Structure formats: C-alpha cells, structure tokens
Amino acid sequence: MVLLLDDKPIFAIVVEVQLSRDEGKRKTWPLYLASVRSREKCPAALFVVAPDASVARWCAEPIEMGHPDFVLRPLVIGPNAIPVIQDKQAAQKDPELAVLSAMAHGHEEVGVSIAQTVIEVVRGLDEERSTLYVDLIVSSLSEAVRNALEALMQQGKYEYQSEFARRYVAQGRKEGLQEGLKEGLEKGLHQGEQAALLEVLDARGLTVDETARQRIMACSELSQLKVWVRRAAIAESVSEIFEPAPVSGPAAR
C-alpha cells in the first residue's frame, strides 16, 4: 500500500503485481480497498501491474459487487505501457522500472538481453532487493528465454557477484548447476514471501512475537505463505492468519 500524506492520510493506493489469473483476487481486491479506506479514513484506489497482456485485460474487467451501481474497475498497467529497457544506464536510473520491463517483455525475443542487463544492474542494490528482483525476473521469463539465460550462465558468460548468487551457484556446481540454480531460486521465492508477509503485518501495526516469526520463517510451503499473506491484509491479529480454513458443512435445503 502507498499512502499519500498531508499531515494526515489523504489518499491510499493498493498496489498489486499480478502474474497470472487468480479468481480469488476478484473477491479480495474490493475487501482490500474497503479495509484500507476504513482504517486510514481516506479515499483509496486499486492499481494493478500485469506484465502479461491477457492477464492485464482480465484484471481490468469490472467487478460487479451486487449493489446497484457499485462496480470496482481496477486501474491496470499492462506490458504495452512498460518500456523495453536494454540500456544499462537507463536501468541504473530506474531499476524498479527495469525490473518491470524484464517481467513484461521476458517472453519476447529481446527477453534474454533485457534480463541480462537488468540482473547485472540489480546486483548492485542491497542484498534483499537484489534477491527479490532477480527472483521476480527469472520467474517471469518464458521457458525458452530462461533456458537461454541459464545456458549463458553455464558458459561462464554471466558473473555472479551477490553473496546470494555465489552461494547457490557454488552449490549448483557441486550438485549439478541446473538443480542448484533451481533450489536457490525456490529458496529465494520462499524468502520473498516470508519478507512480504512480515512487511504486511508491520504495515498494519500488528505485532509479530518470536513464536509467530519462527513459524513464518520455518514454513517451506510457498502456497501456504501466499495464503498467509492474503489473510494478513484483513486479519485483526497475527494469530488469525494461522487459523485453519473453515470446513464447509452440507448445503442447506
């Protein structure tokens, strides 16, 4: 969430990066907005970044709430609005936009060139952002582009400089480069979800005790972490995110 302030909150923006269709989001997005608007006591808007054109079109579809004239129309930016960034200086000037460029155009012919440029630039950022950005880039590439990028890595044409990359590539060289890289990326994705969950809880003012923190950091199921992140957006306490999903009873007759 981005909160605009003028001594007090004047506008809130819920930002979502959507990589694929997820029907559950069409139920939770209105809830996010209502929760933010109620908590911050100011107008709120939903802004979705969708690097895939078909996903962007899906995100932009109106969400009918049922109440007359109550329709949520998400604000969506798709790949056509995201520039192709292959120039290192341009990527250094705005690394976040460069990451979006790699995510939006990573399935195209220029994907390898963009990914190489952007990954080289984000290596110079702090470890946490560098790890997150590399994970986002690699997970957004098409299989063909990812294979081409990995081939360059195997040929030694890509120099790993971050401690994160060095650690997992070293492991890959011992156990097989492909398997080591896969394991490293998967671990990075888990760390990204764990960090996102803690960030959401902190932004909402919910105190995470040591027991809860250890449970979050010990979770190795990416799908479970994603569920907890969504629950964190509306939970009234940290304990609520860990509660088991209610079991539906037999339909009423």
> pLDDT tens-digit profile of 132-142?
888 778 777 77
Residue 159 has pLDDT above 60, yes or no: no
53 and 119 in one domain? no
pLDDT at 47: 92
Q: Identify whether 229 is part of a domain.
A: no
Could you tell me the residue range of the domain that residue 108 belongs to?
Answer: 83-159
Is 20 contained in some domain? yes
**pLDDT for residue 68:** 93
- Would 252 be classed as within a structural domain? no
- Pick from 15-29, 36-50, 143-157, 211-225: least confident: 143-157
Condensed to tens digits (0 to 9), the pLDDT of residues 41-62 reads 999 999 998 878 899 999 999 9
- Domain membership of residue 180 (yes or no) is no
Residue 182 has pLDDT above 70, yes or no: no
Q: Which of 81, 108, 124 is the last residue of a domain?
A: 81
* Range 214-226 average pLDDT: 83
Cβ atoms of 189 and 225 within 8 Å: the answer is no
Same domain, 49 and 118: no
In a domain, 126, yes or no: yes
Closest by CA position to 193, among listed 245, 231, 228, 162: 228
Domain boundary among 27, 59, 81: 81
Same domain for 140 and 75: no
Question: Of 106, 136, 159, which closes a domain?
Answer: 159
pTM: 0.49
Please indicate, yes or no, if residue 239 is contained in any of the structural domains.
no
Same domain, 6 and 72: yes
pLDDT of residue 1: 84
* Chain segment 69-85, per-residue pLDDT in tens: 999 999 998 888 888 88
| Average per-residue pLDDT for the chain | 78
The better pLDDT of the pair 2, 181 is held by 2
Q: How many domains does the chain have?
A: 2
